Amino acid sequence: MKLKNTLGLAIGSLIAATSFGALAQGQGAVEGELFYAKKFNDSVSHVEDGRVPGISLGYFLTDDVSVNFTYGKLDHTRSNDGTGNQKIRGDQFGLKSQYHFGTVGDAIRPYVEGGVAHGSQTNVAADGHTGRDQSTFLTTGAGVKWYITNNLYARGGVEADYKLDNGKWDYQALVGLGVNFGGNGGKVAPAPAPAPAPEPVAEPEAPVAQVVRVELDVKFDFDKAVVKPNSYGDVKNLADFMKQYPATHVEVAGHTDSVGPDAYNQKLSQRRADAVKQVLVKDGVAPNRVTSVGYGESRPVADNATEAGRAINRRVEASVEAQAQ
């Protein structure tokens, strides 16, 4: 089968794979990629720079480390300087390991890589010899992956190949498009819901205490964790209530809508809860009386399918009860 047919089949597979909602990044994930490279040749004399379309298949041993098998279709031209102007084609197989920086769920993840490759090029009837040029290379490189969704990513990078036969280097710049599926998604278990406080039991002869309550519901802009000025008054009311009843403690619970990766939303909800805690502390509440917890997108109160519902879900909630004097 010609390479272009193989690439066409692979592209179709990439598009089909992105339709599976269960696909995820992280440990245990598989990445399949199509790439195209511009190769700058220095290891073979009288050969001009070429191009290398190819495919890569990788497996994540951890959330950050992957092992990748690569195949590239070499395409060069021997320069017309007395050696003959000829097309030179071949294959290059590689085994590499990539280390990814950042955390699972980040949109941008830089990486570094290293490994070994073996190349074989077609017969060149020039310089008094015939036969295929077969060489082994040590390879290194760096680049960045942009996760457009949880499962679809684009890659750009540079690589350098050291030819063991003659101690010379080849270089290439490449771009790629791939899918990522089958991993654990880097998910962490959500924080357990706090156990409800037991209801106070009054002695039969004692008068029933009056319970007073204050609640807080702070809304946030999309992808933001900054308390808006129009919510300062509501937060201050909660702070004043807690200063009036110094035995009270509060949990401020952060939430997000469903847009974006789960791991990113978990962190965003924690930042929102921390932001409200900071305002409470600034208003005079002791830090050890406030617990901030992020619940990510796991506890929606409205329909995430609508913009109005998502705006309601981008929130921080709190509720405090006390017995009136």
Looking at the fold, whether 177 and 242 belong to one and the same domain comes out as no
Looking at the fold, whether 152 and 67 belong to one and the same domain comes out as yes
Looking at the fold, whether 215 and 176 belong to one and the same domain comes out as no
Q: According to the model, what pLDDT value does residue 155 have?
A: 94
Token digits of residue 41: 């040749």
Query: Is residue 42 assigned to a domain?
Result: yes
Positive or negative: CA dihedral 109, 113, 117, 121 = positive
Query: Is residue 191 assigned to a domain?
Result: no
What does residue 252 show for φ and ψ, rounded to 5 degrees? Answer: -100, 120
The amino acid occupying position 162 is: Y
Number of domains in the chain: 2
Q: According to the model, what pLDDT value does residue 86 have?
A: 65
Q: According to the model, what pLDDT value does residue 19 have?
A: 45
Q: Are 167 and 39 in contact (CB under 8 A)?
A: no
Residue 253 pairs with which residues in a beta bridge? 293, 317
Distance CA 181, CA 25 (A): 6
Nearest to 117 by CA among 63, 174, 51, 163: 163
Distance CA 100, CA 113 (A): 9
CATH number of domain containing 166: 2.40.160.20
Residue-number span of the structural domain to which 155 is assigned: 3-181
Looking at the fold, whether 166 and 227 belong to one and the same domain comes out as no
Distance CA 68, CA 60 (A): 9
pLDDT along the chain (325 residues), means of 10: 48 47 72 89 70 90 92 72 63 91 89 90 55 80 90 91 85 90 66 74 63 86 92 91 89 92 93 92 92 92 92 92 76
Query: Is residue 188 assigned to a domain?
Result: no
Helices and strands: H and E segment counts in the chain: 4, 12
Residue for token pair 């990510």: 296
Domain boundary among 181, 196, 225: 181
Token digits of residue 37: 């490279």
Q: Are 182 and 150 in contact (CB under 8 A)?
A: no
Query: Is residue 196 assigned to a domain?
Result: no
CATH number of domain containing 240: 3.30.1330.60
pLDDT digits (tens, 9 = 90+) for 166-201: 888 888 899 999 998 877 766 654 666 777 878 877
Q: Are 293 and 191 in contact (CB under 8 A)?
A: yes
Q: According to the model, what pLDDT value does residue 108 have?
A: 93
- Interstrand relation of 211-219 and 133-147 (parallel, antiparallel or unpaired): unpaired
Q: According to the model, what pLDDT value does residue 24 have?
A: 67
Query: Is residue 187 assigned to a domain?
Result: no
